[in-house]
Amino acid sequence: MATIEDIAKKLNISKGTVSKALNGASDVSETLRKTVLETAVELGYSRGMRKKGAKHLCLFIKNMLYTEPEHFGYDIVIGFRKAAEPAGFVVSVVPLDDPTQKHITYDAYMLKNNYAAAFFLGLSLSDIWISQLQTSSTPAVLLDNYIQANPTTCYVGVDNSEGMDLAIAHLKKQGHRCIGYLSGALDSYVNQLRYSAFFAALRKYNLPDGHHLAGNDFFFSECLQKHLPALLKQKVTAIICSHDLLAHTVMIYCQELGLRVPDDISILGFDDLPLCAYTAPPMTSIRQDRTQIGKSAFYALSSLLAGVPISTLLLHTQLIVRQSTGEAPASPKKLQALDLPQTK
Amino acid sequence: MATIEDIAKKLNISKGTVSKALNGASDVSETLRKTVLETAVELGYSRGMRKKGAKHLCLFIKNMLYTEPEHFGYDIVIGFRKAAEPAGFVVSVVPLDDPTQKHITYDAYMLKNNYAAAFFLGLSLSDIWISQLQTSSTPAVLLDNYIQANPTTCYVGVDNSEGMDLAIAHLKKQGHRCIGYLSGALDSYVNQLRYSAFFAALRKYNLPDGHHLAGNDFFFSECLQKHLPALLKQKVTAIICSHDLLAHTVMIYCQELGLRVPDDISILGFDDLPLCAYTAPPMTSIRQDRTQIGKSAFYALSSLLAGVPISTLLLHTQLIVRQSTGEAPASPKKLQALDLPQTK
């Protein structure tokens, strides 16, 4: 376990300067502070510092709304705080941006701010810190992201394979044979999982398979103007979407094209946001219990802090049937009758 | 929520008889008791009964030794009890056999014995209760078995993909290019996972792939006399085994054939049983922290009892390097020099 003295010796500066740098004193330059922090992390000083009773947790959020009850992240944040705060932890909610990740390493950021551990919401596979988490030593729990072989990281989320299985089983039971899938960008681990799970479930239920039945893009507009018309031309009678907001937009767009939901086409979302009860028609979706995800994330984090190497903690999903899915039409509505926009 | 009266009405018997049957009175015939229990389960009486403060948990064990510290199940049982008993639960350890599973359903057994929830060790995919667990309502945590879409069941274990990845990465780093795999029978979920993970890791590390590189059987003798010679003929320089006891037997058998471990062939086990430190040479293995598995299983079980639908809880594995693995030989020992038994 490294001490302040070790850091001072390594950098050939005084212990007082190291201490000042670690404690954020204003008379230490930003460059020197960074060097001290990085050396502290390198020498393993962080762990010793944390053991002195640091009780602060950082909840990082990126690419995700969380301030209002209808936002995806809201219940997760509340659930996490509901579990962490009674256990004596202080939780800081910190929106994370790219410049921060470029400016400082994850371990150094945590040390600098005296956080014992982190819970990450919304990281994508291209985030800089994701690669640092492969070898970091500060406990981290990640929603919907899996870091292999680092015993201080844990993946929490729902069982996406199960959720997709429930969705396809539900649609098959209603007579659908040709089912399409629209997804957000595949630079997200959870989108990759759901994408693979879609094809795995089609195969399991002996339904037509093939990559022409799925489309993905970061932008809704591409999904609507390119992939959705392509699916409709394949005569799909049901479309599953990787998340509810996309499903809602697809539903509206289909209705604008003159398709009735669910009489002509069934639409099924993922996540079961509060919105689903209020769309027209109300939307069938795969529920993730976001409050329990937040609480479970705290359990995982406190386990990591206690040295228990939890790797993965998943919750069961649940199919919530509303009115956007129904019996498959005897024959899909004739496409000639649809005013389909030109594909690019 | 059904009452004793509902059961009595349904069966057209007195409430007193129902009560006697549920409480195991000796003046109720076994046939009637079974009928009452099954009706109680069918009507959902179990849940009400459990809520009255039943605090008994059942730890079922099948196909697994657990009474001595060197046994696979020992630390799991101890870990589970260490977590459950201070929390106020009484844990009964019950060896499970086939006749019991044939005689009574899982839910009825739990109701009859007033157990609130179960932790299963060692079930195989062919166990009768495994199929009942798809729709059971009594919370159950299963070591190394995954039940999809039943919110009252949870799978606990280690991250087998990670473990296999660590094993293959270790061997590749030591220069091995042709790696074989020997496994127990594939009627076990965990053996299936490790089997698939072996091939996935070979592909990930760009190593020669193909089903001729793996063999599996319930009996050690088949693995030794049929699959091991087949692997040696493929000129493998390293063999991973699905569990340590098999790895130890394979090691001894290779030595009897005149192969030096690890100079001629590297052997790597899975589980890191206490035995691994005492084999000659001591064995490299993938560790599962069995005490923490037991403790985590209790966490999962108490979550299920609280209505939190945990699906999966996995721990990180760890590569424990000892002397049974080493640098790949420049060229595999000539097989002509080996006294290989005839394959069947």
List, for residues A170-206, the tens digit of each pLDDT value. Answer: 999 999 999 999 999 999 999 999 999 999 999 999 9
Chain A residues with beta carbon closer than 8 angstroms to that of B291: none
Choose among B149, B158, B314: nearest Cβ to A162: B149
Q: Mean pLDDT score of chain A, rounded to an integer?
A: 91
Looking at the complex, does the CB of residue A148 fall below 8 Å from at least one CB of chain B?
yes
If 0-12 CB within 10 Å is exposed, 13-18 middle and 19+ buried, where does residue A225 land?
Answer: middle
Using a CB–CB cutoff of 8 Å, tell me whether A173 touches chain B. no
B173 touching chain A per CB within 8 A: no
Write out the two tokens for A285: 């979706």
Instruction: Write down the H helix ranges in chain A.
Output: 4-11, 15-22, 30-43, 45-51, 74-84, 98-103, 106-112, 128-132, 160-173, 189-204, 220-222, 228-233, 244-256, 290-305
Q: Residue A291 above 70 pLDDT?
A: yes
Give dist(CA A247, CA B242) in Å, integer.
44
Flag if B310 and A315 touch (Cβ within 8 Å).
yes
> Quick one: what percent of chain A has pLDDT higher than 70?
93
Is the pLDDT at A335 greater than 60? The verdict is no
pLDDT confidence band for B2 (50 / 70 / 90)? confident
Global pTM?
0.85
For residue A120, give the 3-state DSSP assignment.
Answer: strand
ipTM exceeding the 0.95 mark = no
Rounded Cα–Cα distance for residues A103 and B180 (Å): 45
The DSSP code for A127 is -
Spatial distance between the Cα atoms of B123 and B262, rounded to a whole number of angstroms: 34
pLDDT of residue A297: 97
User: Cα A217 to chain center, whole Å?
Assistant: 16
pLDDT tens for each residue of B292-335: 999 999 999 999 999 999 999 999 999 999 999 999 998 776 65
Check if B299 contacts A (Cβ < 8 Å).
yes
Closest Cβ–Cβ partner in A148, A165, A314 for B312: A314
Q: Tens of pLDDT along A240-282?
A: 999 999 999 999 999 999 999 999 999 999 999 999 999 999 9
The answer to whether the CB of B142 falls within 8 A of the CB of B300 is no
Q: In which band, very low, low, confident or very high, does the pLDDT at B23 lie, cut at 50, 70 and 90?
A: confident
